[in-house]
Structure 1
Amino acid sequence: MTSETTVSIGGTPAKRDYYWLRSFVAGGVAGCCAKTTIAPLDRVKILLQAQSPHYKHLGVFSTLKAVPQKEGFLGLYKGNGAMMVRIFPYGAIQFMAFDNYKKLLSKHIGISGHIHRLVAGSMAGMTAVICTYPLDVIRARLAFQVTGHHRYTGIANAFHTVYLKEGGVLGFYKGLTPTLIGMAPYAGLSFFTFGTLKSLGLKHFPELLGRPSSDNPDVLILKPHVNLLCGGIAGAIAQTISYPLDVARRRMQLGTVLPDSEKCTEPVVCRDR
């Protein structure tokens, strides 16, 4: 909040409404930019996690080279349309929920400090996942398809097919259990690590790493490149810890698309061929 005068509408400061909107849009745009940047690696991850018969004999870099040769350059971005539809509300909900859970925990429960960020981050991540999970399932199905072996023609067709052939609405929530189990440490550790790095950086190296906020010159925030570095470190640590559950989630999401789908109906039996 800045020191500017705000106009109250129905008892709610107009500036607060603007802050919510800005947080929502910023979270969504940030998510879209980040996911589009890493979309080729993300598709390779899905292909290798689920052992696509077309690429399972290859490594990461070999697959990155083989996909454009087999499916064209845009093959690296297969499923990215569904990801963009999902990631904007996901990122926006997560950012908004994180801010609100922090306030809730601080005001009503009295939690603060590192535990504050860890719990709020976990709750925000799980909230965003539950709200957008069907789109994540569809995105995984589309990204796993290989040119010439398509099962779905697009996002709408994938929704229609899964709904009709895989149990209606419940078909869109396959793999939700390992996702939520993994989301708690992933989102929690991500926000926790980022917040800790930010606090330490601004405390010990304020002139080198920080700059005045455009909203309030008296408040220091991280410089853009430092913010990016801290976010990358936080995400890498969180992803590494929760990765085994991510593999189980992907294989369950793909369901009947997999040749060995009967082995991936529950997290405890999702195993290699």
Structure 2
Amino acid sequence: MTSEASVSSPPTMSSTPAKRDYYWVRSFVAGGVAGCCAKTTIAPLDRVKILLQAQNPHYKHLGVFSTLTAVPKKEGFLGLYKGNGAMMIRIFPYGAIQFMAFDKYKKLLRTKFGIAGHIHRLVAGSMAGMTAVICTYPLDMIRARLAFQVKGDQRYTGIVHAFQTIYLKEGGVLGFYRGLTPTLIGMAPYAGLSFFTFGTLRSLGLSRFPELLGQPCLDNPDVLVLKTHVNLLCGGIAGAIAQTISYPLDVIRRRMQLSTVLPDSEKCGSPIKTLKYVYKEYGIRRGLYRGLSLNYIRCVPSQAVAFTTYEFMKQMLHLN
């Protein structure tokens, strides 16, 4: 229970909005910081994933680890972080909206629709993920375009130039939402399963092994939270399960985002068309699941850091 809710005197008309805004800001910051920490941790792996998913001609003959070593040789060490500026601009609001929306949707489902238990985590997580995607998708598009570029073969000079080029040459605002449909379809199970798995593992751990896995919350000793290393483990498991199920849709999303800069762009006009083309041309392992081994390596620490940082920020900002 938050400190605002424990005030005994009735709130005045002037104080209530201020307190609500302050709580909203703290919640927004907690999610944003969690997202930034998670993505910064695995930024080089994200760059390699995009290069492999979309079959970049400079690296398509290489595997995950050989690409990790080839990029610094060809583009310098900072080449591993290409597109990360756009990612940070996107991920702060994305993480903030996703975590904050999850808490809001969870309460809404419980109070308004009577949906409780484990199922409300799954539904709330799916809704939160899709909400965050819709709000920040243009930034994800820009980040993918910049990360796909290779030194010496560049179409965009930076974030602003990429925005201007896509807007002027690819249909205005709609150009920023290319690939949105498979993204939303993939985000529903991914975000839903992530929050569902993490929340379920946390509940089971704290209810069955409270002394072994739990510790008092920093801002509210009456609340029990998972120990840091247990949080990391639960977040990693949640990310691995969610990625396995939704990964082919992530591949389709990337190819649609990059369709105008790929030589086979005419074959990636819709989600179904792209799915059929990738499957027919490259198969399951080298097409729909290309780069999955890298995704396991990146999604485990990413989700682990995201959930752990968010839980820590909630304590630091007195959200419990």
Q: TM-score, normalised by structure 1?
A: 0.96
Matching residue within 64, 70, 85 for 2:68: 64
Q: Where in structure 2 are the equivalents of 1:175-186 lying within 5 Å?
A: 175-186=179-190
Matching residue within 235, 245, 256 for 1:231: 235
Deviation at 1:6, TM superposition (A): 6.7
1:253 aligns with 2:274: no
SS at match of 1:12: helix
Q: Is the 8 A contact 1:40 1:76 kept in 2?
A: yes
Q: Provide, for residues 127-151 of structure 1, a one-character-per-residue CA deviation record: whole Å limited to 9, x for no partner.
A: 0000000000000000000000010
Deviation at 1:218, TM superposition (A): 1.1
Matching residue within 22, 26, 34 for 2:26: 22
Matching residue within 136, 139, 157 for 2:140: 136
- Corresponding residue number in structure 2 for 1:204: 208
Deviation at 1:265, TM superposition (A): 1.2
Deviation at 1:66, TM superposition (A): 0.3
Residues paired across the two proteins, number: 273
Q: Provide, for residues 95-117 of structure 1, a one-character-per-residue CA deviation record: whole Å limited to 9, x for no partner.
A: 11111101111111000011110
1:5 aligns with 2:7: yes
Q: Evaluate the alpha carbon distance shift between residue 161 and residue 218 of structure 1 in structure 2; reply closer, same or farther with a 3 A threshold.
A: same
- Corresponding residue number in structure 1 for 2:266: 262
Matching residue within 221, 224, 242 for 1:220: 224
Q: Is the 8 A contact 1:6 1:13 kept in 2?
A: no
Deviation at 1:226, TM superposition (A): 1.5
Q: Is the 8 A contact 1:2 1:215 kept in 2?
A: no
- Distance of 2:167 and 2:2 partners within structure 1: 48
Q: Where in structure 2 are the equivalents of 1:144-163 lying within 5 Å?
A: 144-163=148-167
Point out where structure 1 has 5 or more consecutive residues left out of the alignment: none
Deviation at 1:225, TM superposition (A): 2.0
Q: Evaluate the alpha carbon distance shift between residue 67 and residue 195 of structure 1 in structure 2; reply closer, same or farther with a 3 A threshold.
A: same
- Distance of 2:189 and 2:16 partners within structure 1: 34
- Distance of 2:270 and 2:209 partners within structure 1: 48
Report the AA paired with residue 253 of structure 2: R
- Aligned residues: percent identity? 83
Deviation at 1:205, TM superposition (A): 1.4
Report the AA paired with residue 122 of structure 2: L
- Distance of 2:2 and 2:58 partners within structure 1: 55
Cα RMSD between the aligned structures?
Answer: 1.5
Greater shift, 225-234 or 73-82, is seen at: 225-234
Deviation at 1:13, TM superposition (A): 7.2
Q: TM-score, normalised by structure 2?
A: 0.82
Report the AA paired with residue 140 of structure 1: A
1:107 aligns with 2:111: yes
Q: Provide, for residues 240-260 of structure 1, a one-character-per-residue CA deviation record: whole Å limited to 9, x for no partner.
A: 100000000000001211111
Report the AA paired with residue 33 of structure 2: V
- Distance of 1:31 and 1:260 partners within structure 2: 33
- Distance of 2:121 and 2:70 partners within structure 1: 41
